[in-house]
Amino acid sequence: MTTTQSTEVPTKAALPPATSTAVRVQNAVIKYGFIFVTVALFLYFALSEGSFRESATLLDTLRYVSVAAILGLGVTLTMAVGGMDMSVGAVAGLGVSVAAQTMVVFNQVGTVAIIAVLAAGALAGLLNALLIVVLKIPDMLATLGTMFVIQGSKLILVDGQSITPGMTMDDGSTAPGRFTAGFLKIDRGTVLGIPISVLVFGGLTIAAWVFLARTRWGRVLYAIGANPEASRLAGIRVGAYRALAYVLSGVLASIGGLILASRIGQGDVSAGTSQLLEAVAVALVGTSVLGRGRPNVWGTALGAVLIGIITTGLTIKGLPYYTQDVVEGAVLILALVFSFTLSKRRTA
């Protein structure tokens, strides 16, 4: 008597309906939770404060966060290669001093100041690349060192004082130049009612997204961040691409410095100091958007918008400025929970 054995491969038992529903809910929370938080906060402030709904307020919010957002894009690029640029705030502050020195002290036009600021940002990025790629110093330590060097150099450049039109020079003469009207339009001007700084923020966000998500160079940056050794074995020039990320970060930080210089209209020696934490925060917040768990441009932009919504909404409600730091910190912690805690429990 012969027996026929079933050749059917046992299949994995299906999850109970309650469990599968819980998994789907968890995945949805991870993927869309932060977007929901942003929309919910926007609706809360819009419904509870009439002035928040005004178009001028919304545009001012975007204008306010444009500097931190642009610096955050630079941080995002360096995070893509597995690093972190802690010098972006100092580079932005350097841009403010260079712009003021060029126009106020050397009496040059705004175009020359823009070129000088961008060149200073690229040089700062090259310094970071030299320390990280050539001298093999860890990214965070190298850029922290660069931050202190730039902050000190900036003070030396302006003799420790802010540069203002009409200021008295060391030799007793009066500074011959001023911030040109064209330069001041970088932040104060509008196109079709939209602040130019907001348009710059939007344009750079799109450009950075195309670069990272739609070009070979961007895909290589992500590959290096995921596994630099495998990338090297695949023939990728890891050092060159990491250097590129830091140079681009320096240039983006200098663009933020141009907007900041146009906003304050003087070479404030403390400019850019507070921008570092916000730039890093929006880049880290961005990793939680859509549950990607990795740096991404649209996430960084959304993180900047969220910070702006919180700051503007709490200001309109009359809450003290120090409570805003608490709320922003709580939002950052929430984003990190989405990115690094909940995402590890995600079931496909």
DSSP code per residue over 129-165 = HIIIIIS---HHHHHHHHHHHHHHHHHHHTTTS-B-T
Distance CA 194, CA 188 (A): 10
Among residues 279, 256, 257, the alpha carbon closest in space to that of 101 is found at 257
For residue 175, give both structure tokens.
């500074």
pLDDT of residue 270: 86
Task: Provide the domain limits for residue 300.
Answer: 68-342
Asked if residue 122 belongs to a domain, the reply is: yes
Alpha carbons 155 and 96: distance in angstroms, whole number: 12
Asked whether residue 112 is domain-assigned, the answer is: yes
Q: Which residue has the tokens 């932009």?
A: 301
Q: Which residues share a beta bridge with 86?
A: none
- Greatest CA separation found in the chain? 116
Taking the alpha carbons at both ends of the chain, their separation in whole angstroms is: 46
Instruction: Return the CATH number at 296.
Output: 1.10.3470
Q: Which residues contact 80 (CB under 8 A, 6 or more apart)?
A: 212, 218, 221, 222, 224, 225, 245, 294, 295
Residue 41 lies in a domain: no
Q: What CA–CA distance (Å, rounded) separates 278 from 307?
A: 8
Determine, yes or no, domain membership for 33: no
Instruction: Among 128-137, 158-167, 244-253, 321-330, name the one with the lowest average pLDDT.
Output: 321-330
Does 46 map to a domain?
A: no
CA 142 to chain centre: 19
For 261, counting Cβ atoms within 10 Å of its Cβ (0-12 exposed, 13-18 middle, 19+ buried), the class is buried
Residue 28 resides in a domain: no
What is the average pLDDT across 7-19? 52
Q: How confident is the model at residue 343 (pLDDT cuts 50, 70, 90)?
A: low
Model pLDDT for residues 86-136, shown as the tens digit of each residue: 999 999 999 999 999 999 999 999 999 999 999 999 999 999 999 999 999
pLDDT over 80 (residue 32): no
Residue 20 lies in a domain: no
At residue 16 the predicted structure's pLDDT band, cuts being 50, 70 and 90, is: low
Q: Which tens digit of pLDDT belongs to each residue from 245-267?
A: 999 999 999 999 999 999 999 88
Distance CA 24, CA 30 (A): 10
Residue with tokens 């150099």: 153
Whole-model pTM? 0.89
On the 0-12 / 13-18 / 19+ scale of CB atoms within 10 A, 136 is: exposed
CA angle 285–93–296, rounded 5-degree value: 25
Of 139-143, 211-215, 219-223, 342-346, least confident by mean pLDDT is 342-346
Number of compact structural domains in the chain = 1
How far, in Å, CA of 282 to CA of 341, rounded? 18
Query: Measuring CA to CA, which residue among 329, 306, 300 is closest to residue 45?
Result: 306
- The candidate with the shortest Cα–Cα distance to 94, out of 62, 61, 127, 65, is 127
The confidence score (pLDDT) of residue 19 equals: 62
60 located within any domain: no
At 230, list the tokens.
């495998």
